[in-house]
Structure formats: C-alpha cells, structure tokens
Amino acid sequence: MNGVTNGSAVEHNAQLNVPLTPLDSSKLRITLANTLKALPPPEDQVIGKNYTDHMLVVTFDPAKGWSDPEIKPYGPLSIDPACSVLQYGTSCFEGMKAYLGPDGKARLFRPEQNMARLKRSADRLALPSFNELEVLKLLKRLVAIERHWIPALPGHSLYIRPTIIGTRPSIGVSASDHTILYIIMSPTGPYFRTGDEGISLLALGDPARSWPGGIGGHKVGPNYSPGFKSLEQARELGYQQVLWLIGEKISEAGIMNIFAVVKRDDGEYDVITPPLDGTILPGITRQSAIELVSAHPVRTILPGLDDSIRLHLHEQDITMTQLKAWFTEGRLTEIFVTGTAALVGHIGRIGFKGEDIMLTRHEGGGGPVARALYESITAIQEGREVWEDWSVLCE
C-alpha cells in the first residue's frame, strides 16, 4: 500500500490531515555522471569491490510521504548521527542480479519475489511501506542505464543491492518514520572459486544465527552482523563458512539455503531441504531449485539427468545425526547450497565436533543434481532458456 507509515493503514498525515505522496516511478529524475569509471578487469569483479557510476535514492518523510525518486552519481548518503539505523540497526535489503542474454539485453531473475520479500522485511522492522512494483520499475531503469557494467563472461553478473534504512533523527526507542530507500550495484564473478574441492563448512550452534520466533525469516541487517564472530572462528580453523545449527537441526549454511541428496533403497533419490519455519530465509534460488527438482522428469529434464533418474523433493528437518548416518551408510551422494551470490554451490566437507564429513568429489565440481540445477537456472537467468516468467527484461 502506498504512503503507509510504520505499517499502519493510514495514507495521510493525521496531524495536518493532508495526503501523503506515494512512491511514484513516473516522477523519476535522472542526473547522469559527467565522467564514467573504467570497467574493472575480470579478476576484480568481486561483490562489493567496485560499484557502478549511478545509484537510485528515494526518501520518506512522515509529513510529506515519498520524495521524487532520483538516479544520480554514486556517492555518500547524508544521515543524522542519531538516526535509527545507527542506533537500532533498522535496515533491510535484498540481493539480486542482472544478467546479459545472448541478445545483449539485461535480465533480472524473478525480481517480483525479491520486491515482495523486501516489503515483508521492511514491515517486520515497522519501516514505512511502499508499492514494490514501483520500486521494481525504478530498479529496471537503473539497470538499463548501467547495462554496460554487466560482465559478458560466463558466471559473471551485476549484483544489485536494494536497501532500506530507518533515518528517524532520534535516539528514542521507537519505530523509524523516516526512511531512505536506495539501490547500488556491483559487477561480480563467481562467489566461490573452489573448483572440485567444494565449499567447506564448520557446524556451529552456539551462538545461534537465528532462533524460533526471531527474525531469521527476514532479510534484515541484524540477522547478519551477529554471525561475523562465528565466521571468523570457522575461517581460523580452515573452513569457508558456518553451517548453522539449532540444537542438532541444520538451519542454513552461511547466508545460503542447504540441500542434501540421499539415495533411497529403490535406487531413486530424495532431495531434502529444511522447511521454512521462521528461522530460515525464504531464498528465491531455494524456491527455484525446489520447483525445478519437483518438475523433473515430468515437466522438464534437468541437464545431465535422464528421465530414468527420479528425484523426490522433501522440505523436512535434517539433523547432524541423520547426516552422519547417511554418510556412514554411503547414501549421502551430495550436499549443495543455494543463494543469489553463490547460485548453486557444492559442499566438499563439513566439520562437526572435531571430525570432518568428507563428501565425494565429482569431476568438474558438484554432484549431478547440483550441476543440473546450476546449468538450468543459469540458462534461464541469461535468457538462453525460457521457464515460465522467471526471466524479466530490463527495458
């Protein structure tokens, strides 16, 4: 709903009894940079290392509503030292990517789902509401302007970070009725460059990253910084990421969703991922993997898998005891993670209580299911294959 403040259904300033201005993409102002940056070489295309020439900014004021959106040269934001985001961490964001198709056109992958999740996250923090379709129109325009920043290389893309921060200039403990919504972008290559070795995880449950009744199911800033200490611990021990546990239950791997592939007694395969119980972020790549696995082999044949291979998708709890038992029995054929940054990444080993679960190495990296999903989703993202309405042009 446009012009909603603090999650309420009030579309006007109650004190002044005047309508609040909704977020309106048709009012976009564009100020282009006088000098453009040199594009970074492939080895420097890492998320967050370089940023495009322009960004999008729009603000919310409780007395007026949303400002006219503006695309302008990338640069610092001006905020009050007492504002909510600095005092109470009122921030949420999305992770998206733009891809170049064989026709040279820029594409987004299921962006309406990112916009819906961004709105849910903002609502969880009691930030002013907005029309997510208007934000998507603005995002498309920004991508179209910066299309030349999308690397024309396999495995490369333009990472997009829509962000909302609370800017109420007060240290009073209250929801922020002032907001800045902005979008920045960074060219990137593969997130993990592990080759056949795969990603390494250290299983940890204390401290927890998320917990029942918490905010793990939302993409908000306070979900991430409490995990940095555990990530440092994992890296000091030679692991790349943390496998988060709640008790013995597996939650997420780093900031990614996790899947296990287990061979059944009848020779078919169970593909298992933890359910969305409020502690796990509902990933767009996760949902896409679920839908593609469920479609094989009836609606589609995943690359590298013939129609004789049957996959059975389950959203159910996975414990470390189960994982170790499947491994010992020789039934655990692969574990992989999904996320916007990593797309689909295979797990090579998991450290747990001083021991490692060493997963089977597959030539070319990743097991057959992970490879199939990676190839299928990449083809859809780049517009080389059409699957429902997942690939959206930025025109």
> How does pLDDT run across 59-110, given as a tens digit for each residue?
999 999 999 999 999 999 999 999 999 999 999 999 999 999 999 999 999 9
pLDDT tens, position by position, 14-35 = 555 678 999 999 999 999 999 9
pLDDT tops 70 at residue 180:
yes
**Co-location of 171 and 218 in the same domain:** no
395 located within any domain:
no
| pLDDT band with cut points at 50, 70 and 90 for residue 190 | confident
Task: Tell me the average pLDDT across 51-66.
Answer: 98
Beta strands per DSSP E along 284-361? 311-315, 332-339, 343-352, 355-358
**Co-location of 146 and 65 in the same domain:** yes
Question: Three-class SS of residue 256?
Answer: strand
CA angle 257, 381, 74 (to 5 degrees): 85
| pLDDT the model gives residue 357 | 93
Helix (H) or strand (E) holding 163: strand 157-166
Q: Which amino acid is at 133?
A: L
| pLDDT the model gives residue 7 | 38
| pLDDT the model gives residue 328 | 94
Task: Tell me the average pLDDT across 224-235.
Answer: 94
Question: Which domain does 346 fall in, by range?
Answer: 195-390
Task: Tell me the average pLDDT across 157-173.
Answer: 97
pLDDT tops 90 at residue 43:
no
287 located within any domain:
yes
Q: Which two tokens stand for residue 355?
A: 């021991």
| pLDDT band with cut points at 50, 70 and 90 for residue 361 | low
- What pTM was estimated for this model as a whole? 0.93
| pLDDT the model gives residue 101 | 92
pLDDT tops 70 at residue 197:
yes
| pLDDT band with cut points at 50, 70 and 90 for residue 363 | low
- Provide the percentage of residues in the chain whose pLDDT is more than 70: 93
31 located within any domain:
yes
Q: Which of 121, 153, 188 corresponds to the end of one domain?
A: 188
**Co-location of 159 and 253 in the same domain:** no
Q: Which of 108, 76, 77 is nearest to 95 (CA)?
A: 108
**The domain spanning residue 77 has which CATH number?**
3.30.470.10
59 located within any domain:
yes
| pLDDT band with cut points at 50, 70 and 90 for residue 362 | low
**Co-location of 70 and 161 in the same domain:** yes
304 located within any domain:
yes
**Co-location of 118 and 229 in the same domain:** no
Distance CA 30, CA 47 (A): 25
**Co-location of 41 and 72 in the same domain:** yes
**Co-location of 212 and 134 in the same domain:** no
**The domain spanning residue 255 has which CATH number?**
3.20.10.10
Return the number of other C-beta atoms located less than 10 Å from residue 331's C-beta: 16
**Co-location of 116 and 258 in the same domain:** no
343 located within any domain:
yes
| pLDDT band with cut points at 50, 70 and 90 for residue 181 | very high
**Co-location of 177 and 212 in the same domain:** no
Distance CA 192, CA 198 (A): 9
Q: Which of 151, 173, 188 corresponds to the end of one domain?
A: 188
**Co-location of 277 and 159 in the same domain:** no
7 located within any domain:
no
Q: Which two tokens stand for residue 278?
A: 């409020």
- Provide the percentage of residues in the chain whose pLDDT is more than 90: 87
| pLDDT band with cut points at 50, 70 and 90 for residue 3 | very low
Question: Three-class SS of residue 332?
Answer: strand
**Co-location of 72 and 165 in the same domain:** yes
**Co-location of 107 and 234 in the same domain:** no
Domain count, the chain: 2
List residues bridging with 313 in a β-sheet.
271
Q: Which of 154, 188, 222 corresponds to the end of one domain?
A: 188
Task: Tell me the average pLDDT across 145-159.
Answer: 94
3 located within any domain:
no
